[in-house]
Amino acid sequence: MAEPIIETSHLTKSFKGFKAVDDISLRVEAESIHALIGANGAGKTTCFNLLTKFLRPSDGTIHFKGRDITSLKPDRVARLGMVRSFQISAVFGQLTVLENVKLALQRHRGESYDFWSSVRRLDHLRGRAMELLADVGLTDAADTPAAELPYGRKRALELATTLALDPEVMLLDEPMAGMGTEDVGRIADLIRSVSRGRTVLMVEHNLGVVAELCDRITVLARGGVLVEGDYATVSRDERVIESYIGGAQHA
Ligand SMILES: Nc1ncnc2c1ncn2[C@@H]1O[C@H](COP(=O)(O)OP(=O)(O)OP(=O)(O)O)[C@@H](O)[C@H]1O
């Protein structure tokens, strides 16, 4: 197996004695698309929040590119190249799609941050911003206020603002949540295309998407790793069928 870009060792998170994540040793290969799946309450969100540093582990370590990041803050981890998209990705509804991406580019470049005056002074970032909009299929919406975008396209904008940070690892929290069938296909294609040369780790309930997109899948159950492998391996595993498929009828 190639060197992992993310590696956890004995990662554990207890809430008042209850182990929501229990001794998870996870390896995510560079430039792979990796999914965390599992029934409700299996520990996916907690594990994800530990990786993105929104929670502190009770025990265990997290390494990113060989470096121990267990006690680093989320913004520090983001600057090292591991960025969480969706849900926390800031999209300003009153700004246009193009302005949102220019602002994200400006933040990434660490230029002085003076929100209102800077939005008007970001013309030097227009070229790169338009490239990113082309990557996510939003060229025609460049001058539309972000708030007016339909749901699926808003998600595409969030991807563009994440890509503006040029992350090595993108962490996607249920990228298909709340989407209709048509948008699911479109966003899945987008994730595939923007993942080239990057690593993607996602929590996702939609097994069809996981089957189609992901190179490797870790199935969690009761806070621990139940099975790990490609979709073919995982989906025919008796333990997965019993403990996950049975408990995931909502997916
Ligand atoms: N802050 C908390 N305090 C106490 N218990 C928690 C807390 N966060 C999560 N838990 C518990 O930890 C377990 C795992 O929760 P988690 O949200 O990680 O599961 P999940 O796999 O993401 O589930 P879902 O698919 O429903 O989002 C659950 O039993 C949950 O009730």
Nearest-CA residue for ligand 1 atom 29 is 41
Cα–Cα dist 146/72, whole Å: 32
* pLDDT value for 116: 58
Residues with CB under 6 A from ligand 1: 15, 18, 20, 38, 40-46
Instruction: Return the H-helix or E-strand segment holding 67.
Output: strand 67-68
**Best probe residue, ligand 1, of 13, 14, 15 (max atoms within 8 Å of C-beta):** 15
* pLDDT value for 37: 93
| Domains observed in the chain | 1-81+169-251 (3.40.50.300), 89-166 (no CATH)
Gap from CA of 45 to ligand 1 centroid (Å): 7
**Best probe residue, ligand 1, of 12, 13, 16, 18 (max atoms within 8 Å of C-beta):** 18
Is the Cβ–Cβ distance between 226 and 244 less than 8 Å? Answer: yes
Gap from CA of 232 to ligand 1 centroid (Å): 27
List per-block mean pLDDT (blocks of 10 residues) for the chain, which spans 251 residues.
88 96 96 94 93 93 96 90 72 90 82 59 87 94 95 89 91 85 86 92 90 95 94 91 61 42
Gap from CA of 48 to ligand 1 centroid (Å): 11
Secondary structure (DSSP) of 123-176 = GGGHHHHHHHHHHTT-GGGTTSBGGGS-HHHHHHHHHHHHHTT--SEEEEESTT
Nearest-CA residue for ligand 1 atom 3 is 15
Atom of ligand 1 nearest to the CA of 42: 21
pTM of the model: 0.88
Cα–Cα dist 90/158, whole Å: 8
